[in-house]
Amino acid sequence: MDVDTIPVFVMGQRVEVPPTLTILRALEYAGYTLTRGVGCRAGFCGACATVYRLKGDPHLYFALACQTVVRPEMYLAQIPFFPSRRADYRIEDLAAVPATLFTLYPELLRCLACGTCSKACPQGIDVRSYMAAAMRGDLAAVADASFDCIACGLCSARCPVEETQYNVALLARRLYGRYLARRSEHLAERVREIEAGAFHQGLAELRALDEAGLTSRYNARDIEA
């Protein structure tokens, strides 16, 4: 049976693909062997950042290829890796203060609050808002607002002052998590149990199971409501 298809353009080349496929699947359907720009395929890793335009529409759109369904006359260009500056540091040597952000990423103070970073984000994150928090030195606000960032780099690709927003956010989350976030008592208790060997027997039992046994144990597990 014939498959209904729609035309899309990959780096200028027209291909016909089923309209139900994601961009990633459509590229593979068209015969492309993807060795770069492919990662988790679940919208978490940011490896498949894609830029596209639609026929007759002057806007530039941004998406993750594994999460976005193709549309007719879609003009595609993938960005499997976007180069940007990442500061070198050891988190153990840093202090959770605003000066740390400004010293390692002085370019963040050049932010124009233009909002192109927010428009480019395929996760819908308000990047402009967390960059404003970074300029105020509010590490907690940056960490919270950027929590869903997957570091695809599209915000940086569109920044007129060439900031690396996602790397600023990553540093803020690391500082917040190590120095400012409230310690989790139940996590600390579990770590103590592990160090005391409380789970050695259980792990040994799991290692002794074959695939069928592991599958059975997994299916019979307690699931929280």
CATH of the domain at 131: 1.10.1060.10
Residues 110 and 50 in one domain: no
Residues 122 and 155 in one domain: yes
Q: Is residue 67 part of a domain?
A: yes
| Final residue before a domain boundary, out of 143, 164, 180 | 180
Residues 98 and 175 in one domain: yes
Domain with 24 in it: what CATH number?
A: 3.10.20.30
Burial category of 98 from C-beta neighbours within 10 Å (exposed 0-12, middle 13-18, buried 19 and up): middle
Q: What angle do CA 150, 125, 183 make, to 5 degrees?
A: 65
Per DSSP, 7 falls in state: E
Q: Is residue 49 part of a domain?
A: yes
Residues 44 and 106 in one domain: no
User: The domain containing residue 13 runs over which residues?
Assistant: 6-78
Tell me the two tokens of residue 188. Answer: 């600390």
Residues 73 and 101 in one domain: no
Tell me the two tokens of residue 154. Answer: 């599209």
Q: Output the pLDDT for position 122.
A: 86
Q: Output the pLDDT for position 189.
A: 94
Check if the beta carbon of residue 26 is closer than 8 Å to that of residue 70: yes
Residues near 86 by beta carbon (within 8 Å), at least 6 away in sequence: 164, 167
pLDDT values of the chain reduced to their tens digit, one per residue, 225 residues: 356 999 999 988 999 999 999 999 999 999 988 877 788 888 878 888 888 999 989 988 988 899 999 999 999 988 767 778 899 999 999 999 999 999 999 999 999 999 999 998 988 999 999 999 999 999 999 999 999 998 888 898 889 998 999 999 999 999 999 999 998 899 999 999 999 999 999 999 999 999 999 999 999 988 876
Q: Is residue 207 part of a domain?
A: no
Domain tally, the chain: 2
Question: pTM for the complete prediction?
Answer: 0.72
Residues 29 and 62 in one domain: yes
Q: Is residue 186 part of a domain?
A: no
Q: Is residue 26 part of a domain?
A: yes
Per-residue pLDDT tens over the stretch 68-88 = 999 999 999 887 677 788 999
Residues 108 and 150 in one domain: yes
Residues 110 and 139 in one domain: yes
Q: Output the pLDDT for position 45.
A: 83
Classify 9 as helix, strand or coil: strand
Residues 10 and 64 in one domain: yes
Strand 6-10 to strand 74-78: parallel, antiparallel, or no bridges (unpaired)? parallel
Q: Is residue 189 part of a domain?
A: no
The neighbouring-strand residues paired with 53 are 75
Residue 82 to residue 5: CA distance in whole angstroms = 31
Q: Is residue 197 part of a domain?
A: no
Residues 99 and 162 in one domain: yes
The neighbouring-strand residues paired with 16 are 7
Q: Output the pLDDT for position 165.
A: 95
Residues 33 and 73 in one domain: yes
Check if the beta carbon of residue 96 is closer than 8 Å to that of residue 175: yes
Residues near 143 by beta carbon (within 8 Å), at least 6 away in sequence: 169, 172, 173, 175, 176, 177, 181
Smallest CA-to-CA distance from 116 within 154, 169, 151 is with 154
Q: How many residues does the chain have?
A: 225
Residues 110 and 137 in one domain: yes
Check if the beta carbon of residue 19 is closer than 8 Å to that of residue 4: yes
Residue 125 to residue 221: CA distance in whole angstroms = 35
| Final residue before a domain boundary, out of 54, 78, 102 | 78
